[in-house]
Chains A and B, each alone.
Chain A
Amino acid sequence: MQSKIKLLVLFTFLSANIFGQEEKNSRFFIELGIANKTIKDRSFSKLRFHGFIPSLEIGYEKTDKNYWNIDLLAKYGIVNYRNRYFPTTYIEGNLSVRYAMPVSDKSRAGGRFRTTLNVLDYNSFSNGAWTTKHHLDVFLRHSFNISKHALIGEFTYPLIGLASRPRYVGLDEFVASNSDNVPKILYSKNKIFTLHNYAEPTLRLKYIFKSGESKYYSRLTYSYLYLNSVNAYFKHSIRLSFGVHL
């Protein structure tokens, strides 16, 4: 699998070299990728689950004096234990809005709002866990330009969030008596999370080969999640994606 990832990296950067061109100020984009995820959600299992999860991201960004971005990201795939036991459907969807103001020629700082739905579903919920969270993050963005190569680094870190998670035993009477109303289960009984029980640093590196009109790019996203409600949730993810500006 590692060799496949290396090939994918190579292909992505080659495609950026062949097709990559100058950035526009505002544009829509679409991005396909694959994330290498390691998960331990204690509500779900005390074992570590792993998988390669395909992703699709669409969005709009505007880069003037200030930076605006809104995007929708969906991930869907299978994780399992030791590539062998308990194949589990992993579903994630999130909506992000980023805004940043200039702090220097190449740096901007601001905030991000993100709302996320994440579900683990084993065997039609004979076991499962969910995390819905809405959080405000610090957002930093910096551009590096060397000759025709552009690298844009982004860093986000949550300050405060609101999350709904399974309770102590996973399935309590609230879940049992509302099993015909899934959104109510997913979006009720929220708790506030902040720095001491919630950490999710995310680093994104976007590479563009600037030549003529900008169109294609590649991106590497690293994130780590630690969310400690009654049962802690740990997640580690490295996602490689390549996209096109429309």
Chain B
Amino acid sequence: MDYILHLIILINIYVIITTSTNLMVGLVNMLSLGQAAFYGIGAYLSVLALMVFNWPLIPALLFAMAGTGLISLLIAFPSLRLKGDYFVLATLGFQLIVFTVLYNWISVTRGPFGIPGIPSPQLFGAIQISGLRSYLALSSVLAVLVVFLFYHLIHSPFGRALRGVRDDELSMKALGKNVTALKIQAFAISSSFIAIAGFLYATYVSYIDPTSFNLDESIFILSAVIVGGLGNVRGPVVGALLIILLPEALRFIGLPDSIAANLRQIIYGLALILLMRYRPQGLAGTYAIK
């Protein structure tokens, strides 16, 4: 039973990640290989707020979100001048730089040793968030909130403008929209929402190290979003469910762990290729990437 709760918490964390990524990839067609970097920045900033400043839950979470959003501007401003492959490359470069800094700036991040003993955050000075059940509640509330906000964002004038940029950038410019500003806003919002997942992960596992936020994780996140589907609310949720439950399904079949890990990856890879060929909008999405 506890194990199922643990899985639900992980799914909630990944729903937040994939939904935020969908904002960039599915609404604006900005393919990013730097999502794990923002996830990691969010996690490390949360730890900073909780362990150094000793802040309670809500200020710490807001601090992580705001900080990650601000840092994302560093890469958003320059990279948005680039198109296609070059944009992906810029986000990939950012991902590798962030990882190297987290890994090697040992005096601040403790590098490869990681940060153990992250305290459980306090809510309203009274409730201590610790144990599976409280994390289940917290992560579910946050995941539902993110999905809810995202649903409204898609249908808001802002979301419509973003989809306009995605589908026909030139026309949006002709209509007098500031396309660059829209893209930067989408970038910053997506990054600060990913920070929520970083916060949950750091406090739930109570240990972080840079290897959770490397390029492989970025590729994994991007595959999850693309396999699940782009452009609507359902797609990312399906993606998150699949990537968390598929390994369990493989374990259920009774494959040894060593093979199961590789087999799982092969299934993701195959899914990416087949989906790109036959169903580029993903399993449950509405937008086919271009």
**Chain B associates with chain A:** no
Chain B residues close to A by CB (< 8 Å): none
